[in-house]
Structure 1
Amino acid sequence: MRLRPWCVLAAALSVSAVSVSAQCDEISDPVNHALPLPSTATQLTELRQRLAESEKEREALSRQLQSADTERESIQLGRLRQENQRLRLQLKEAQSVTPPRVLTEQQQWFVAGGGVAMVALLCGIFASGWRRRRRQWLN
């Protein structure tokens, strides 16, 4: 057996064990992580203040947007009401100009059919000549 691979393996394990123990020490040290640096604390407060200002600006802008939308909708609603009123007046004028229909289309076809039947009956009566003659086919 050669000693080199075993030596390399032992050295690698010892280095990794040292680095793991150093990391565990860093994690278990509460003082190191609990106290932020003074510059970080000032940055943190500054960022919180900027966040609060941004939230206030966002709320103000959203209120402005809602009021602008409401104003646009009220203008559009007024236009639609005026157009609706104008169209109603046009409808009333159009209805007053045209006379109301007496018969519906179905009733007109019924009357036309009845007229054709009457004309056919009259033609049949006049064609026979009103004379009564004995019918040949009856014995």
Structure 2
Amino acid sequence: MRAGPLCLLLAVMSMATGAHAEESSPLSLSAGPQIIDLQQRLKESEHQRDELSKQLQNADADRESAQLSRLRQENQRLKLQLKEAQATAPQRLLTDQQQWFVTGGGVAMVALLCGIFASGWRRQRRQWLN
């Protein structure tokens, strides 16, 4: 490698490290009271935020408890209405499926009786004619 570009590279690198050192210099003494003031304001803000979040949770809990009590009352009212409706409704002997089964059996019996009466109770020997 040539000496020219190497010297140039070293010069550029030394300037970059010098600029970096200037950026990370310690804070001046006049900024100290501002930092303390800002830290106190931060603590006060966090305290206010905590208090407001607690108030919000309490308000949510109160609203939910009121809604919960209304729902419980409505649930009790609906249970009473259901019991009254069940007490006044006549008891069914058969379910819908059982009713269809009985209806189908009745139709089959009627068809059997119609077939017997239509033949006239006579027994005939029927054969195929060849």
* Cα distance, 1:47 vs structure 2: 0.8
Distance 1:133 1:61, change over 3 A: closer
Residue 10 (structure 2) pairs with residue 24 (structure 1): no
Residue in 2 aligned with 1:37? 29
Stretches of structure 1 that go unaligned for 5 or more consecutive residues are 1-12
Q: Distance in 2 between matches of 1:103 and 1:26?
A: 93
Distance 1:68 1:99, change over 3 A: same
Q: Distance in 2 between matches of 1:134 and 1:104?
A: 43
Q: Distance in 2 between matches of 1:44 and 1:121?
A: 105
Q: Distance in 2 between matches of 1:41 and 1:133?
A: 124
Q: Distance in 2 between matches of 1:73 and 1:82?
A: 14
- Taking the TM superposition and a 5 Å limit, the aligned residue runs for 1:1-139 are 20=15, 24=18, 27=21, 33-34=25-26, 36-38=28-30, 40-130=31-121, 132=122, 135=125, 137=127
Stretches of structure 2 that go unaligned for 5 or more consecutive residues are 1-7
Q: Distance in 2 between matches of 1:61 and 1:107?
A: 64
* TM-score, normalised relative to structure 1: 0.67
| Percent identity over paired residues | 61
Q: Distance in 2 between matches of 1:134 and 1:35?
A: 125
* TM-score, normalised relative to structure 2: 0.71
Q: Distance in 2 between matches of 1:59 and 1:113?
A: 73
Deviations 1:15-70, CA, capped at 9 Å, x for gaps: x88xx39x839937x9xx446233x1111111111111111111111111111111
* Cα distance, 1:123 vs structure 2: 2.6
